[in-house]
Amino acid sequence: MKEKIEEMKKNAKAKIQDIKSLQELQDLKVKYLGKKGELTLMLKGLGSLAAEERPKIGSMVNDVRKEIETLIEQTEKTMKRKVLEQRLQKEKIDVTMPSNNIALGSVHPITQIIEEVKDVFLGMGYQVVDGPEVEKTYYVFDQLNTPIDHPARDLQDTFYITEDVILRTQTSSVQIRTMENQKPPIKMICPGAVYRSDTPDATHSPLFHQIEGLVVDNNITMADLKGTLEMFVKNCLGPTTKIRFRPHHFPYTEPSAEADVSCFVCGGKGCRVCKNEGWIELLGCGMVHPKVLENCGIDPKEYSGFAFGFGVERIAMAKFGIDDLRLLYENDVRFLKQF
C-alpha cells in the first residue's frame, strides 16, 4: 500500500508539471482529489487493512493529499497569472495614439436657415412662438379675413381632417393666437411646418416650412416693415443684398406687397438662378388689416402692425444654390454632407 501511495504521488507531481491548460489541471484535480478520485478511494479502502496499519496508511494518504492540493493550487495561481498577462498584453491600449476619425453628421440646410433667421430676429428683440400644426379653420382662415369662397379654402389646396379642422396651410394661425392672448406691444416670429395639397416637383412639396413675423404697436408704419426686412436679408443673404417691394393682395394685410431680393449669385446682373431678371421673389408682407386686429380684440385706431412670411426652403435654395426642392427631403447622404 505504501508503495502504491508513493507511486501515485510521483505520477501526480509529474503530470502536474506537464499541465498545459487550466482545464487539464481541473481534470487532474478531479482524478486524484474528487469524490471518486484515486486518493479518496484509498481512504475508503483503509477498512480492509489490519487495525495497526490503518493510522499509518491513513496519515500517509492525507499527507499526500495535502501535498497534491498545495501543488495544484500553486500551479493554478501561476497559470491564471500567465493567462492574465497574455490578455493584458493582447488588449493593451496606447492612450497616446490618435483616435480613429469619426464621421459626424451636419445640420440640415432647412434647420440651418431656421436657426439663422431666429438669431437675426432675436437680436432685434423678437420672441419665437410655436403653435399647433393641426389647426381650426377659425385660426387659419376666418380670423385672417379670408372669405369663405377664397380658393385657399378649396379641397385641392388644403388638407381637411374635418369640416373645421385642417393641417395648417400657413403659420399665420400662430400670429392670431398670439394677438388673442397677448396685448401689444407684440414682436414675434413663428417658424414651423405647413401643408398644402401640391404635387411634389422641383419647386413644390405638400410639406414645407414657413417663418412668419408680426409686429403690433403704436405708430407702426410701412417704413418700419421695410427697415426690418432690409436688416433681415442683409444678415441672412449677405450685406450687399437689396430688397424691393411690388404691390400685391393678401386678405389679412392692407396695403400688401411681394418682396424681391437681388440675386445673391449675380448681384442683380442676371443669371440662371434668377432667370436673368436680377431679382428673386422672397416673401409676402404688408400692414396688418384693421379687421384682423379687431377680430383679435386689438383696437385698430390705437394700434397698427405689419406682418411678413416666407418659405424656408426658398431661402435655402437661394442661399445654397439648390435647384430642386425634393433634394431637401430625400435624405441622400451625398447631398447632406455638403452642408
Does any domain span residue 140?
yes
Q: Look at residue 169 and tell me if it is in a domain.
A: yes
CA distances from 217 to 183, 187, 255, 302 (A): 9, 9, 17, 8
CATH code: domain of residue 323: 3.30.930.10
pLDDT tens-place string over residues 286-305: 999 999 999 999 999 999 99
Q: Are residues 87 and 117 in the same domain?
A: no
Q: Assess whether 215 and 256 both reside in one domain.
A: yes
CA distance 124 to 216: 14
At residue 324, the pLDDT reads 86
Is 209 among the domain residues?
Answer: yes
Write down the pLDDT at residue 19: 81
C-alpha cell, 90? 493582447
Q: Give 161-203 pLDDT, tens digit per residue.
A: 998 999 999 999 999 999 999 999 999 999 999 999 888 888 7
Residues 138, 83, single domain; the answer is no
Looking at the fold, whether 35 and 170 belong to one and the same domain comes out as no
Diameter of the chain measured on Cα atoms: 127
**Is 81 found in the same domain as 216?**
no
- What length does the chain have? 339
Tally the domains of the chain: 2
| Shared domain check, 306 and 222 | yes
Is residue 59 located within the same domain as residue 155? Answer: no
Could you list the residue range(s) of the whole structural domain that residue 218 is in? 109-336
Same domain, residue pair 74 and 130: no
Residue 145 lies in a domain: yes
Instruction: Work out the percent of the chain whose per-residue pLDDT is above 70.
Output: 94
Same domain, 137 and 171: yes
Highest-pLDDT range among 20-34, 171-185, 314-328: 171-185
- For the chain, what is the radius of gyration of the CA atoms? 42
Assess whether 115 and 238 both reside in one domain. Answer: yes
Instruction: Indicate whether this model's pTM tops 0.85.
Output: no
Mean pLDDT for 269-277 is 76
- pLDDT single digits (tens) 205-235: 899 999 999 999 999 999 999 999 999 989 8
Distance of CA 320 to the CA centre of its chain: 22
Query: What integer pLDDT is reported at residue 48 of this predicted model?
Result: 66
In this structure, is residue 102 part of a structural domain?
Answer: no
